[in-house]
Amino acid sequence: MSEKAEIMINHCKSFLLAVSVSLASAFLTTCVFAQESLPLLMPDELFRRNIGSEGQLDAQFPPHRIIDNIYYVGTQSLASFLITTDAGHILVNSDFERTVPTIKHSVEQLGFDFEDIEIIIGSHEHSDHMEGDARAKALSGANVIAVAEQVPGLAHMRPGGKAHPIDKVIIGGDTINLGDEVLTAHLTPGHSDGCTSWELTVTDAGQDYKVVIICSVGVNPYYQLWNNPERPDIVDKYRSSYAALRALAADIPLGSHPSMYKLEEKYPLIGQSVNPFIDPEGYLYEIAINEQAMNLRLEEQRLAAMQSE
């Protein structure tokens, strides 16, 4: 038995101890969702992996070029990207309002002007990714472009009482064009209704690569997956998003949190002959590990509901 399989079975055993004997056989189905090749990570572990510590949310990660015209300008646990063009730049994720000065500093350290940002877009309508839109717009003069399903959530995001700026609303499948850059918005809901994964193509050493900035397919600790009256289709949305992301088959995975694409492991490898961010397997791994975690949480909640009946 592989070490991973053994770990998985030990996890399953501890789950079984946690439920009554009458539910034990039913709970075994939970373990069926665990794939032998994947470590058994529950949604809360992936959430903690993404968020990191309080300090990591705010601490600058060294700004760097990822590939071609894509640069990292985020913190240790909140990813922001600068996509540069001859006609100005695109900022993906303004993060918290308090993060904006750190992002600006990173942009300037890379030798770019914050005022040259023409467009601000975001992964999804949660404050750790898009709360800073008003401040980033005020400092750059950029237009904020939102995806329609993000709008209701963004309307509630009013740091310091400021209205959330939205200059243009697009829908899933639309493209954003600036200079010779084309970004496609793919609606990948579940984590939020407006969760959007952004696709673009880059060139490195004469070869084209598909980049996907994965919105997030994570299940936050308080999410209700089983019988959610407010979001009855939440599980269907997650499942359609796993399928949509798999179909995109990116060569270069990026994400709204840098741990989604293992930035810390890849960063020291920058400058080697092969760009460390080219990682199609890592892209599929991130989808698979989150899908497994979603299924585990769903089953856990289904069984808890059975028990309380």
Give the residues lining the site for Zn ion (CB under 5 A). Answer: 126
Tell me how far, at minimum, the Cβ of 50 lies from Zn ion, in Å: 8
Residue 165 burial by Cβ neighbours in a 10 Å radius (0-12, 13-18, 19+): middle
Which uninterrupted H or E stretch holds 148? none
Q: Which is nearer to Zn ion, 157 or 278 (CB)?
A: 157
Q: Which is nearer to Zn ion, 172 or 280 (CB)?
A: 172
Residues 6 or more apart whose CB falls under 8 angstroms from that of 118 comprise 87, 88, 89, 90, 142, 143, 178
Tell me how far, at minimum, the Cβ of 216 lies from Zn ion, in Å: 5
- List b or e across 252-267, with b for residues whose CB sees 16 or more CB atoms inside 10 angstroms: bbbbbbbbbbbbeebb
Q: Which two tokens stand for residue 228?
A: 């959610």
Residue 160 burial by Cβ neighbours in a 10 Å radius (0-12, 13-18, 19+): exposed
DSSP-assigned beta bridge partners for residue 228: none
Q: Which is nearer to Zn ion, 126 or 137 (CB)?
A: 126
Q: Which is nearer to Zn ion, 190 or 276 (CB)?
A: 190
Distance of CA 113 to the CA centre of its chain: 26
Q: Which is nearer to Zn ion, 30 or 196 (CB)?
A: 196
The residue count of the chain comes to: 309
Q: Which is nearer to Zn ion, 96 or 114 (CB)?
A: 96
Interatomic CA distance for residues 130 and 125, integer angstroms: 6
Tell me how far, at minimum, the Cβ of 125 lies from Zn ion, in Å: 8
The strand pair at 143-147 and 117-121 is best described as parallel
Tell me how far, at minimum, the Cβ of 286 lies from Zn ion, in Å: 15
DSSP state of 195: -
Tell me how far, at minimum, the Cβ of 283 lies from Zn ion, in Å: 19
Indicate the residue whose CB is closest to Zn ion.
126
Q: What are phi and psi of 197, to 5 degrees?
A: -105, 135
Q: Which is nearer to Zn ion, 202 or 219 (CB)?
A: 219
Tell me how far, at minimum, the Cβ of 192 lies from Zn ion, in Å: 6
Tell me how far, at minimum, the Cβ of 191 lies from Zn ion, in Å: 6
